[in-house]
Structure 1
Amino acid sequence: MGDTVVGVYYRPPDQEEEVNEAFYRELEVASRSLAFIFIGDFNCPDICWKGNTARHAQSRRFLQSIDDNFLTQVVEEPTRRGVLLDLVLTNKEGLVEDVKAGGSLGCSDHEMVEFRNLRGRSRAISRITTLDLEKLILASSKTCLGESHGLGL
């Protein structure tokens, strides 16, 4: 089924333009994945998602980046004080479904966003490798001592 790349991002409201542009470059690279989900608080309260418009240049640049990378924003409900700040972006239609905003985690003033990843149906395979030191020592001992000595290693 392939890999799904998941990214998480927090953009402070006063983030410098240079950092924004670096983020857009990274977003472009990541969005080339076959299946990409990007979650975060992007702090662009002036965006009208229904019309895909914004009052501030910084938010318009964010919308342009989403459009340039063929991403879709799937959260429809406000996530903080009646404003949609927390977003889920994806590059594949139907990859994310059952998106819901509601409730809070701990003392956060943001609503939690829950969704279902449709590619997550198969068992996840970790690419993290853990060394089995016991097997390594045993194999090393066999090499040093040789199995022909009747040691049963």
Structure 2
Amino acid sequence: MEDKKVIRSNQHGFTKSKSCLTNLIAFYNETATCMNEGKVVDIVYLDFIKAFNTVSHNILLGKLRKCGLDEWAVRCMETWLNRWGL
């Protein structure tokens, strides 16, 4: 996914050497820098889990395959969707 530029460099979840913690640190640093420079900072939290309830899983998995994601990764995503009852 990284080679095909589907995942951006600022993606943290499910990315090698990055995690929710590294995402939180990067977010905090960027927010603190902006505030220290006197910039206004607005933060919006989104619950993406609900988005999976409105998307056809078969279409989503098909698009991942078309992007070149290998079958093992697609099946992992499918298992995740099924595990959480999405």
- Give the structure with the higher percent strand: 1
- Give the structure with the higher percent helix: 2
Q: TM bucket by the smaller chain?
A: under 0.3
TM-score, scaled to structure 1: 0.17
Q: Which structure would you say has the larger Rg? A: 1
Higher relative contact order (CA 8 A, sep 6+): 2
TM-score, scaled to structure 2: 0.27
